[in-house]
Structure 1
Amino acid sequence: MGWQSRTRTLQVFDTELSADTVEWCPLPQWSHVLACGTYQLQKGDDKKTAEDSTAPSRIGRLYLFDCNPQPSFIPPLTETQRIDTPAILDLKWCHVPISERPLLGMATASGEIQLYKLMETQQGTCGLEYELSTELGPDRLALSLDWSTGRGESSDVRVVSSDSSGSITALSLGEASLTAVCQWKAHDFEAWISAFSYWDTQIVYSGGDDCKLKGWDLRMGPSSPTFTSKRHTMGVCSIHSNPHREHILATGSYDENVLLWDGRNMKQPLSETAVGGGVWRLKWHPNQEHLLLAACMHNDFHILHCQKAMEGQDAPCPVLASYILHNSLAYGADWSRLPLSSFSPPSPQESPQTSIGLTESGGHLRIHYESPTASFDTSLEDDSGRYIPDQSPLPEKSSIPDPFTSPARDSQSLSCLMATCSFYDHMMHVWRWDWSPEEKQKPSEPAPSS
């Protein structure tokens, strides 16, 4: 049986400041809540004297939305709150309630991990209240964070964070404190990403601009890594442990490849998939263990099917769907846990989204983009603001005969709600992906004989 894949935009929201991270609340009672973080570099005032001029300031804004994706002509998102903050580089909800409330962690350009508690407001909506914060150290940007609760375990809740000094910090959450348990120098340059193994939360992974992927065992102390991999050829900027399959780890890099690993053998990845853009974020599906969402900077957002790779077949992960409607760097991406069974799928007449030829328009513009640590690079965009990729092959879409192995083997289709955001166009998109069996055409009946 073949399967057809369709994407459809539901709403586009202008975040005003550059958007780089989106996160749906993973707790069932609050799965309609969506948070989006922004990052904006403010250039110094030209009128300032040399004594007054300092490094450019980085500001941010935290948005909170309520989502109601039911069939109607009303956009599904309603903005319920915005909070001005230091520039935000990462957001993550704790996967379990803390004191019976959802808790949102935020990595900021001020070098802090800030925690916000989700509360009901007098208007009957939800709002975030500042809870507490911890500084990682002077003269650094907090670049990422991860919670130890990825499999829903609520004992010994911890946070791990990486920063622009190349350090990793493990923190423990108490009743009224977030305390650093240990901090160590892990990478020579920026440590772009840090993540827990959700199956053994004493194991931490990190990736840095030194092109290295490392593992750490908190029980042994951080004096030396449990492994160091140089399999990625550029900076490692995304890591996510699979919460459904033990030992499975996904990593991404500026080298435009997604690698799948078995944590018991970090010498050689299970698979390597070229996705045509630097892989800034990777997210496993909330309940489908083989589906992986990738935010690919210069090459949009892709959904990968990883079953064969996880079974050891040493093959690239086929791309099931691509969302190509952002016009800038694809940074933030997340799956929603909201059920869409009551939300009607696209009509059969609605054509699936197809790729647009990016090099057909004229007037190419050379642009500069700024990384979170103020280093610069160049790339090409067309006159519509779309990135013009190198002449490298795009990932191929493949037909998957049987997408479901567990827990939804008997499902007839899959519908998912997603949120993604892009940087320079400061846009957040909410969209849906429908994956369903292709209807077999019935053989035409012979014309009746006269």
Structure 2
Amino acid sequence: MAWKSRTRSLQVFDTELSADSVEWCPVPCSHDVLACGTYQLQKGAGEEDATTSRTGRLYLFEFRDEGSMSPPLTELQRIDTEAILDLKWCHVPLSGRAVLGMAAATGALQLYTLSDNQEGSRSLHTLSSLEVGVERLALSLDWSTGRMDSSDVRVVCSDSAGCVSVLSLAEGTLTALSQWKAHDFEAWISAFSYWDTQLVYSGGDDCKLKGWDLRVGPSRPTFTSEKHSMGVCSIHSNPHQEHIVATGSYDEQVLLWDGRNMQQPLSESAMGGGVWRLKWHPTYQHLLLAACMHNDFHILNCGQVLGGGGGVCPVAASYILHNSLAYGADWSRLSLEKPSPSSPAPAEPKESIRESGGHLRIQYESPTASFDTSLEDDAGGYIPESIAAGSIPHTASPDANPEGEAPSLSCLLASCSFYDHMLHVWRWDWTPDDP
């Protein structure tokens, strides 16, 4: 079956500082909440001043799809803080509230609660903080709650000293349970197996992927893989299919694994850029989102591999409107209306846009000249999608749904890029051709 795949930009937001992490809230009633983290290295003012500092900012947004003439994102809050390396929401509410975890350049793991304020809006408030080590950067975190299980809430964190830490959260306070030296250099990523949260995976700049069983202690790993030829910087356990794990590396490869046999991956897919983050779709087990640093953002259809067929995971869609390193990416659980059967409004010619709004502040041009679109005017105003039709058709021919999922999808996503400090919110529509 042939498929039509289309990505459309909904809004672009300038984060001012370099953006490296975006996370949609997975907790029911807060699916419209988006967090974005930034990381900025500040160098000394003079030539002889070699001092550097790292600063960051945490943004909180609300998404409202109220029509094509209104920007869907509303900024709720910004918090100037330490430089942020990673953000992750706990998948379940804790004491009735959503909780956001932040890995900071100070070596601290910080938690915030999402609360309603007196004005009827929502904001983040500090819950707890714990330093995982001095003179190191906290690089990543993951919650044990990936399958929406709240029976044993823990956090795993990796750092620039090559260590992995496991922490518990009881009565709103973080407590360190264990910490060990896992990698020779930076431990870029750590993650739970969502099916057995006593198992932890880690990846480091020593090019090694390792597994750890917390029941027997971290004296030695349960496995060590060197299938990646460069630093391992992304790991995500599939919350829908047991034993399935995705890993990514600076070697530009996405590997899919069966956790029962970590000697050989199920699949190897070349992405054309270092794979900084991987995210399985929250509902559809075969869709995998990849942030590929020098090669944009891509959605992989892993249905054939997960069905036992092996091979390479084909790209179902790509989002290429960023102009810098593709770092942060995430799926939203927010429902979107299915696309209408009619064709979208045609893009207005570029010249007429200039006549209506003057010179455009943010402009993207496809390397293949397949589109040319602008999303903000020189005053930073929002230009609706009917005028700035920043869409690129992508066609793939993946297998039909392996588990009987609905054949038509409309997904909301967010992504961010580093040096151009941009946050993008976009949608992906994936529908079969008419018979």
Q: Do the aligned partners of residues 72 and 175 (structure 1) sit closer, same or farther apart at CA in structure 2, a change above 3 Å counting?
A: same
Provide the TM-score with structure 1 as the length reference. Answer: 0.85
Contact 1:90 1:107 in 2 (8 A): yes
Q: 2:298 aligns with which of 302, 308, 323?
A: 302
Identify the residue that residue 43 of structure 2 maps to in structure 1.
43
Identify the residue that residue 262 of structure 2 maps to in structure 1.
266
Q: Counterpart of 1:9 in structure 2: which amino acid?
A: S
Identify the residue that residue 400 of structure 2 maps to in structure 1.
402
Identify the residue that residue 315 of structure 2 maps to in structure 1.
319
Identify the residue that residue 421 of structure 2 maps to in structure 1.
426
SS in 2 for 1:415: strand
Question: Percent same amino acid among aligned pairs?
Answer: 69
Q: Do the aligned partners of residues 207 and 141 (structure 1) sit closer, same or farther apart at CA in structure 2, a change above 3 Å counting?
A: same
Cα distance per residue 1:383-438 (max 9 Å; x no partner): xxxxxxxxxxxxx96302413524x2xx3510000000000000000000000011
Cα distance per residue 1:301-337 (max 9 Å; x no partner): 0000001111232201000000000000000000001
Cα distance per residue 1:163-185 (max 9 Å; x no partner): 00000000011103111100000
Matched, 1:356 2:367: yes
Relative contact order, CA 8 A, sep 6+: which one is greater? 2
Distance in 2 of aligned mates of 1:186 and 1:401: 39
Identify the residue that residue 361 of structure 1 maps to in structure 2.
none
Contact 2:303 2:402 in 1 (8 A): no
Identify the residue that residue 2 of structure 2 maps to in structure 1.
2
Contact 1:69 1:76 in 2 (8 A): yes
Q: CA deviation at 1:65?
A: 0.2
Identify the residue that residue 197 of structure 1 maps to in structure 2.
193
Provide the TM-score with structure 2 as the length reference. Answer: 0.88
Q: Counterpart of 1:400 in structure 2: which amino acid?
A: P
Distance in 2 of aligned mates of 1:135 and 1:208: 20
The aligned runs of 1:33-432 (5 Å cut-off) are 33-46=33-46, 54=51, 56-341=52-337, 344=340, 347=343, 356-357=367-368, 398-403=396-401, 405-406=403-404, 408=405, 411-432=406-427
Distance in 1 of aligned mates of 2:340 and 2:62: 20
Q: Do the aligned partners of residues 401 and 199 (structure 1) sit closer, same or farther apart at CA in structure 2, a change above 3 Å counting?
A: closer
Q: Do the aligned partners of residues 426 and 60 (structure 1) sit closer, same or farther apart at CA in structure 2, a change above 3 Å counting?
A: same
Contact 1:345 1:434 in 2 (8 A): no
Q: Which runs of 4+ in 1 moved over 3 A?
A: 342-346, 348-351
Farther-moved stretch of structure 1 (287-296 vs 310-319): 310-319
Distance in 2 of aligned mates of 1:142 and 1:299: 26
Q: CA deviation at 1:70?
A: 3.6
SS in 1 for 2:185: coil
SS in 1 for 2:304: helix
Cα distance per residue 1:3-27 (max 9 Å; x no partner): 1000000000000000000000001
Cα distance per residue 1:186-208 (max 9 Å; x no partner): 00000000000000000000000
Q: CA deviation at 1:345?
A: 7.5
Provide structure 2 residue ranges, at least 5 long, that are not aligned to the other structure: 348-363, 370-393
Give the count of matched residue pairs: 395
Distance in 2 of aligned mates of 1:195 and 1:71: 38
Cα distance per residue 1:11-55 (max 9 Å; x no partner): 000000000000000012100000000000000132776xxx54x
SS in 2 for 1:428: strand
Q: Do the aligned partners of residues 108 and 13 (structure 1) sit closer, same or farther apart at CA in structure 2, a change above 3 Å counting?
A: same
SS in 1 for 2:29: helix
Q: Do the aligned partners of residues 403 and 311 (structure 1) sit closer, same or farther apart at CA in structure 2, a change above 3 Å counting?
A: closer
Q: CA deviation at 1:349?
A: 6.7
Farther-moved stretch of structure 1 (289-298 vs 115-124): 115-124
Q: Counterpart of 2:409 in structure 1: which amino acid?
A: L
Q: Do the aligned partners of residues 342 and 256 (structure 1) sit closer, same or farther apart at CA in structure 2, a change above 3 Å counting?
A: closer
SS in 2 for 1:30: coil
Distance in 1 of aligned mates of 2:153 and 2:162: 24
Identify the residue that residue 25 of structure 1 maps to in structure 2.
25
Q: Do the aligned partners of residues 268 and 40 (structure 1) sit closer, same or farther apart at CA in structure 2, a change above 3 Å counting?
A: same
